[in-house]
């Protein structure tokens, strides 16, 4: 642990940390403000009754629906007005099934609802697929559900992985964020190729990432577009008792808005970072959980609770991330996440340095590599330290998870990125244009200047998190590092919620 704090001190001395928030570009491409007084039947249909627990009381009677003061109103009632219907209760719900579906982007619904035992208002999505998908194989996205009189709402995802295989906690499939009871709240969800990100009133509240390439049907959410469901349900096995004295109850929807990604006509800033609104605790200690193990030698799991960090798997990379999470005040927020590498070889080569490095510079380089989880260093013959200093630095590097190899060592089937290339694009742009080779790559440093450090950061994002940044393009035609299929470090930042430090 002393070495861990030594790394933190060295990094604070040698590197400048910026806390700039990320922004993504969106365009508002569709919305329904419910101001016309008439439900748009080209988009919405009333939900028919079925045997599913959420639809057993659905009905089309007009008393269950309304368009009032710019709101879509959906109601749940005692059935005392349709004697021909044997259902004890009746509920209203609408969906866009077979009429409108939503791709990658951001969906926002502003709504408020009554609170009553047995009332189950929900805003959620199911896959709009050509083939018949046996639930839950296509996935279900619950943007907002509310049960009983809980002081929070639910975000939940369902899939074959979570439901049939019962793998609900790696990663966690549900979160319980607070909301403003009795008021309008904005419930949002962003869908990417490799994660679902949820919001309440602009505050990021949950990230559900693709885990281990979506093994066992864990992440079907990139395979289909999804249609939207809004409903005022009554009853469920979690709350079989329905408080009839509180009926009728209402779900009121002010608007639904859908934004597409990577367009230039509208910009929605990322929400205020979660760390700024969350209590943070003085770092106390790190405890290793030896009972949780992984097949992937790079994978690790971090849980922080009131200043105590519990790590399992690769302790070195876990502590590297803790270094980034602990602020300058020595405090950190509560987080719980898994992380793992895209490529096993993430190497830095000194073979093409324009000058020799000093002992202090080489130690600094090793610290930066550990921070970025880069695990191979070669070409040390080109630098200046003495034999004794080399011995110390080699041990130092190995303790930080970095394997030091001679310059003549070759590893087949890996990328080699030369910063002195004569190509027109900058090194960072060329790195982001590449799809990382499965085995990994070497970055040939020219020096330790600003351009080299930027290239190291880009290299780490590409070869640790993987992905393909080539789909998004800036106005200059260069790759967009925050494209939905791009650097997964951006989504990793969302998953951790406070992992937002960037190094220049």
19 is a domain residue: no
401 is a domain residue: yes
Of 205, 168, 170, which is closest to residue 186 (Cα–Cα)?
A: 205
Of 161, 87, 77, which is closest to residue 119 (Cα–Cα)?
A: 77
CATH number at residue 153: 2.60.120.200
CATH number at residue 439: 3.40.1280
Both 426 and 330 in one domain: the answer is no
10 is a domain residue: no
Burial class (CB in 10 A: 0-12, 13-18, 19+), 51: exposed
Both 350 and 333 in one domain: the answer is no
Both 66 and 149 in one domain: the answer is yes
Both 103 and 225 in one domain: the answer is yes
Last residue of a domain, one of 241, 269, 297: 269
> Which pLDDT tens digit goes with each residue over 297-342?
888 888 888 889 999 999 988 888 887 778 778 888 777 767 778 7
* DSSP helix/strand/coil, 228: strand
**pLDDT on residue 423:** 63
Structural domain total, the chain: 3
* DSSP helix/strand/coil, 200: strand
20 is a domain residue: no
**pLDDT on residue 120:** 94
Q: What is the pTM of this model?
A: 0.59
Q: Tokens 């639904």 label which residue?
A: 256
Both 363 and 396 in one domain: the answer is yes
Range in 94-108, 236-250, 254-268, 463-477 with the lowest mean pLDDT: 463-477
- Is the pLDDT at 222 greater than 80? The verdict is yes
> Which pLDDT tens digit goes with each residue over 388-447?
888 888 889 988 889 998 888 888 889 898 887 666 667 776 776 666 788 899 999 988
Handedness of CA 176, 178, 180, 185 (dihedral sign): negative
17 is a domain residue: no
| Strands of the sheet with 345-349, listed across from one edge | 403-405, 376-378, 345-349, 440-444, 415-418
The predicted model gives 251-271 an average pLDDT of 67
What is the domain extent for residue 334? 274-339
13 is a domain residue: no
Both 278 and 265 in one domain: the answer is no
The predicted model gives 225-233 an average pLDDT of 96
Tokens of 54: 């959420």
Both 160 and 242 in one domain: the answer is yes
**pLDDT on residue 503:** 25
250 is a domain residue: yes
> Which pLDDT tens digit goes with each residue over 160-177?
999 999 888 778 899 999
How many Å apart are CA 502 and CA 486, to the nearest integer? 17
Give the gyration radius of the chain's Cα atoms.
Answer: 26
Q: Pick the residue with more confidence: 393 or 112?
A: 112
Both 259 and 239 in one domain: the answer is yes
Spacing of C-alpha 265 from chain mean position: 24
Q: Are 418 and 452 in contact (CB under 8 A)?
A: no
The strand pairing partners of 285, in sequence order, are: 308
How many Å apart are CA 144 and CA 199, to the nearest integer? 10
CA angle 250, 253, 259 (to 5 degrees): 155
Both 395 and 326 in one domain: the answer is no
Among the ranges 90-94, 261-265, 381-385, which has the highest mean pLDDT value? 90-94
The strand pairing partners of 458, in sequence order, are: none
Both 240 and 363 in one domain: the answer is no
Tokens of 503: 């190094």
161 is a domain residue: yes
Range in 10-14, 135-139, 218-222, 377-381 with the lowest mean pLDDT: 10-14
> Does the N-terminal peptide bond of residue 171 adopt cis geometry, omega within 30 degrees of 0?
yes
Q: What contacts 193, CB < 8 A, 6 or more positions away?
A: 104, 210, 222, 484, 485
Q: What contacts 166, CB < 8 A, 6 or more positions away?
A: none
Both 379 and 434 in one domain: the answer is yes
The predicted model gives 145-161 an average pLDDT of 93
Q: Pick the residue with more confidence: 90 or 407?
A: 90
Both 288 and 252 in one domain: the answer is no
- In the chain, the percentage of residues whose pLDDT exceeds 70 is 80
């Amino acid at each position: 642990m002393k070495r861990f704090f030594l790394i933190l001190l060295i990094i604070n001395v040698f590197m400048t940390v910026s806390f700039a928030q990320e922004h993504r570009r969106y365009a508002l491409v569709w919305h329904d403000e419910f101001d016309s007084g008439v439900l748009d039947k080209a988009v919405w249909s009333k939900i028919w009754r079925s045997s599913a627990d959420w639809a057993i009381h659905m009905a089309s009677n007009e008393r269950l629906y309304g368009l009032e003061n710019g709101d879509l109103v959906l109601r749940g009632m005692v059935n005392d007005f349709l004697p021909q219907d044997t259902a004890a209760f009746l509920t209203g719900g609408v969906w866009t099934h077979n009429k409108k579906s939503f791709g990658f982007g951001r969906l926002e619904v502003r709504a408020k609802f009554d609170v009553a035992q047995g009332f189950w208002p929900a805003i959620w999505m199911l896959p709009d697929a050509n083939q018949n998908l046996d639930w839950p194989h296509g996935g279900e996205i619950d943007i907002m559900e509310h049960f009983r009189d809980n002081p929070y709402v639910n975000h939940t995802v369902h899939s074959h992985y979570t439901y049939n295989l019962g793998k609900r906690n790696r990663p966690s499939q549900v979160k319980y964020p607070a909301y403003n009871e009795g008021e309008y709240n904005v419930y949002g969800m962003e869908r990417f190729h490799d994660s679902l990100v949820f919001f309440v009133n602009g505050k990021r509240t949950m990230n559900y990432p693709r885990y281990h390439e979506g093994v066992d049907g864990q992440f079907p959410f990139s395979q289909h577009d999804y249609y939207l469901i809004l409903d005022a349900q009554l009853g469920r096995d979690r709350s079989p008792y329905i408080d009839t004295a509180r009926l009728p109850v209402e779900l009121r929807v002010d608007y639904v808005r859908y934004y597409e990604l990577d367009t230039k006509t509208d910009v929605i800033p990322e929400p205020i970072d979660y760390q700024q609104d969350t209590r943070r605790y003085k770092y106390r200690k790190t405890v290793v959980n030896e009972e949780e193990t992984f097949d992937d030698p790079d994978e690790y799991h971090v849980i922080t609770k009131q200043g105590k960090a519990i790590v399992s798997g690769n302790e070195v990379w876990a502590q590297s991330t803790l270094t980034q999470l602990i602020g300058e005040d020595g405090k950190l927020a509560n987080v719980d996440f898994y992380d793992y590498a895209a490529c096993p070889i993430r190497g830095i080569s000194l073979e093409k340095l324009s000058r020799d490095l000093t002992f202090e510079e080489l130690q600094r380089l090793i610290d930066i590599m550990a921070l970025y989880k880069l695990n191979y260093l070669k070409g040390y013959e080109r630098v200046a330290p003495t034999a004794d200093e080399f011995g110390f630095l080699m041990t130092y590097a190995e303790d930080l998870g970095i394997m030091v190899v001679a310059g003549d060592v070759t590893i087949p089937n890996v990328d080699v990125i030369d910063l002195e290339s004569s190509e027109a694009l900058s090194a960072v742009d060329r790195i982001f244009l590449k799809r990382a080779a499965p085995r990994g790559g070497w970055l040939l440093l020219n020096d330790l200047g600003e351009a080299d450090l930027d290239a190291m950061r880009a290299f780490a994002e590409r070869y640790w998190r993987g992905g393909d940044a080539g789909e998004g393009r800036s106005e200059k035609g260069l790759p967009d590092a925050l494209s939905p299929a791009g650097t997964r470090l951006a989504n990793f930042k969302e998953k951790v919620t406070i992992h937002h430090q960037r190094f220049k």
